[in-house]
Amino acid sequence: MSLARLRDPIAAVATAAGRGAVGIVRASGPDLAPLVQALFGRALAPRAATLLPFTAADGSVLDRGLAIHFPAPHSYTGEDVLELQAHGGPVLLQLLLARVLEAGAGIGLRLARAGEFTERAFLNDKIDLAQAEAVADLIDASTEAAARSAARSLDGAFSAEIHTLAGRIVELRTLVEATLDFPEEEIDFLEKARAHERLGAIEAAIGAALARARQGALLREGMRVVIAGQPNVGKSSLLNALAGAELAIVTPIPGTTRDRVAETIQIEGVPLHVVDTAGLREHAADEVERIGIGRSWEAIAGADAVLFVHDLTRRGDAGYEAAEAEIATRLEGADVLHVHNKADAAAPAADDGVVLSAKAGTGLETLRRELLRRAGWQAQPDGVFIARARHVDALQRTLAHLHLAQAHAAQRDAALDLLAEELRLAHQALGEITGEFGTEDLLGEIFGRFCIGK
């Protein structure tokens, strides 16, 4: 969008669709005094709620509610903001929005794009990019842990840590580049600046931030878990036991599950997207089962973790064991957790993995804890920030550049120019998180996912 369009006054309904006790129509722009005058025939006291009639163009009363004018720069967007708080009927709010747009026609007031209010807050330095994303994450949070982590990010805790890390990289960049500019001083930069030690400390700090970001991304996006195994080993029973509901049909007939059955469950606030798949076997009973088995392998390929379910009652059967070995070979490279089912009907196995009975419910808590462990979950995630895949990617690239910087630092002053470049790239990758280094396409992707009134 052009810079001129970003200066347009905008308006939208800022509350969720549907009926409610209160609904809000919000407007933002460089100067909303003419809009306030057109709507109410008077100015409003700054940042004070004023009870007024909201009228149509012909003077008829649409509703009575509160009007609040937030003069720039003391507002959410950093511009003038006007909020009209009315009763939350969908038709009423649309009538009120139409009236606001009509009254603001003279100043070019238009309907806001998705996320445009928060985009303006970012562009006007009210929040950084990580905080802007935290706004959407707080709205979308489906668990208490996710909401608390999003609130920490919105409060600036994540951004503050990123800025601190960036500052430490900048200090090293300054020293390296100063040495490059004044080579005649013949200063042994690496010794005097303790470059190795400082780089190592920064790498450790970035690594710790990356671990928390990965957990924050897990809180936001969840973990994809696929239940796999031969027919009739208890996959559907396991899904039902984890979900606490009869989601999948369970029968003694092989091949009952023909397609993927998915359910999202929560363990300690962590969303797990669990998928039950068709039983894996070489010869399908018919074309439908063959397609189902193909989809099973597709789901396995995209899984974060695979629960390979084994039937304890069929151990020692030659045909069963041969099929197990074949599936295990195809699962190589995946994050596999072996689950030995039907412990209520057979002696527990001594193999690695989890022993349980999906039917009796024994061992399920052990399985839940193992899934959390593999996800890198902490029992008390107080230091976790809500994070996104792009944050994790940026931190990984930062760490990679710092590793290369260490290698160049080991060559002492002979590779100072390469060291300086890797530090610059590390700084740039880190800056992408808060928006100091970003592209217009990235901003469009981020804010386009917001709701209209935000």
Binding site for (6S)-5-formyl-5,6,7,8-tetrahydrofolate: what residues are annotated?
Answer: 26, 83, 126, 454
Instruction: Enter the tokens of residue 361.
Output: 């419910």
List, as residue ranges, the binding site for K(+). Answer: 232, 251, 253, 256
What whole-number distance in Å separates Cα of residue 142 and Cα of residue 147?
7
Q: Are 26 and 97 in contact (CB under 8 A)?
A: no
List, as residue ranges, the binding site for Mg(2+). Answer: 236, 257
Q: Are 133 and 446 in contact (CB under 8 A)?
A: yes
Tokens 């039917």 locate to: 359
Which strand ranges, in their side-by-side order, compose the sheet holding 80-88? 50-55, 61-70, 80-88, 20-29, 10-13, 110-111
DSSP annotation string for 360-390: TTBTHHHHHHHHHHHTT--SS-TT-----HH
Task: End-to-end CA distance of the chain: give it in Å, rounded.
Answer: 17
- Name the E strands within 50-150: 50-55, 61-70, 80-88, 110-111
Inter-helix orientation angle 157-181/144-154, to 10°: 40
Of 276, 287, 201, the residue nearest 236 (C-alpha): 276
Q: Are 243 and 263 in contact (CB under 8 A)?
A: yes
Q: What share of the chain is helix, strand, coil (3-state, %, to 5)?
A: 50, 15, 35
Tokens 């981020």 locate to: 446
Question: Does an H or E element contain 226, and which?
Answer: strand 223-228
- Identity of residue 268: E
List, as residue ranges, the binding site. Answer: 26, 83, 126, 232-237, 251-257, 276-279, 341-344, 454
List, as residue ranges, the binding site for GTP. Answer: 232-237, 251-257, 276-279, 341-344
Q: How many C-beta atoms lie closer than 10 Å to residue 415's C-beta?
A: 16
